[in-house]
Amino acid sequence: MKLLIVDDDLMIRKGLLSLDWKSIEITLCGAVQNGNEALEIARQVKPDIVLSDISMPTMDGISLARELLGENSDCMVIFLSGYSDFQYAKAALSIGVFDYILKPTSPEEIFDCVKRAMARILKERSERASLHMMKTELKVHKIAGKQEMRSCEEVSNLQNSEGVVEKIVKYIESNYMNDISLITLSEEIHLNSIYISRILKRSTGYTFLEIITAMRMIKAAELLRNTGFSMAQISESVGINDQRYFSQVFKKIFNLTPREFRNLNNEDIKQDVFDKLKKWIEC
């Protein structure tokens, strides 16, 4: 996969360039000093991952990420910044940045983050390929006339359901930190709220509220594991303004309070708990 480095600090750029990217199957496609240069190169080479500073002249990292993700939603943006201010991280989360690494850091931490981004990209590509294959199979069956009309209609309904569910999940992923509801979702994707509820339950086995709650808890768990943000800050960043309610929901899903989860000493246990929730929402 291709990675683009963006940082106005020459020494940091040189340091990042010196890392053994080939060992994790990454090809560097550039190293530039500001957002404008990065945007120009990104439009030409279409990097899979952009590793960027936040505070830069001409165009900062937040503006760059907003432009990149607006033009290429498949791109994964990782911020590498010396700013630990919560507002920077909140802004990054709100525009869909994959992760936020604080300087100083280590090559191991950078590689770990990049490998997780690569895994996410491969997963999303696989899902899109499966959906495309299903659509292609439907066309082949229709052209060949090898299925009865009823069977064709059932496959078509499944295809349409998959498209709607994909659109719903993408909307939730982009807006979980905001105050969204079935009504706002129905207005955004121009579908009846009752129809949305029915198709979600039929396709996933879960309600809209269960899906958005699980997604918020996944993001909260990531912040608890990877940042020093307070419970109030984490609660706010995942779209829950009532910290007490946030703690109750978190404990109901994880069987641990947010503080207990953060204080787990065994990282393997913490990862196991986290993976169980991710599997629950991905089923």
Residue 145 above 70 pLDDT? no
The pairs formed by 192-197 with CB atoms below 8 angstroms and a separation of 24 or more are 196/164, 196/168
Integer Cα distance of 78 and 58 in angstroms: 19
For 4, half-sphere exposure in the C-beta direction (CA atoms, 13 angstrom radius) is: 28
Tell me phi and psi for residue 194, to 5 degrees.
-65, -40
Integer Cα distance of 5 and 45 in angstroms: 13
For the chain, the average pLDDT equals 80
Packing angle of the helix pair 193-204, 208-226 (nearest 10 deg)? 70
Q: Over the stretch 241-275, which tens digit does the pLDDT of each residue have?
A: 999 999 999 888 777 889 888 887 555 555 555 55
The pairs formed by 224-227 with CB atoms below 8 angstroms and a separation of 24 or more are 224/258, 224/261, 224/262, 225/262, 225/270, 225/274, 226/99, 227/89, 227/100
pTM of the predicted model over 0.85: no
Q: Over the stretch 188-238, which tens digit does the pLDDT of each residue have?
A: 888 888 888 888 888 778 888 888 888 888 888 888 888 888 999 999 999
Q: pLDDT grade, residue 85 (50/70/90)?
A: low
Q: What stretch of H or E contains 93?
A: helix 86-94
Q: What is the pLDDT of residue 33?
A: 94
Residue 132 above 50 pLDDT? no
Map out the domains of the chain with their CATH numbers: 2-105 (3.40.50.2300), 211-282 (1.10.10.60)
Integer Cα distance of 195 and 157 in angstroms: 13
What's the distance, Cα to Cα, between the start and end of the chain in Å? 27
Q: pLDDT grade, residue 14 (50/70/90)?
A: very high
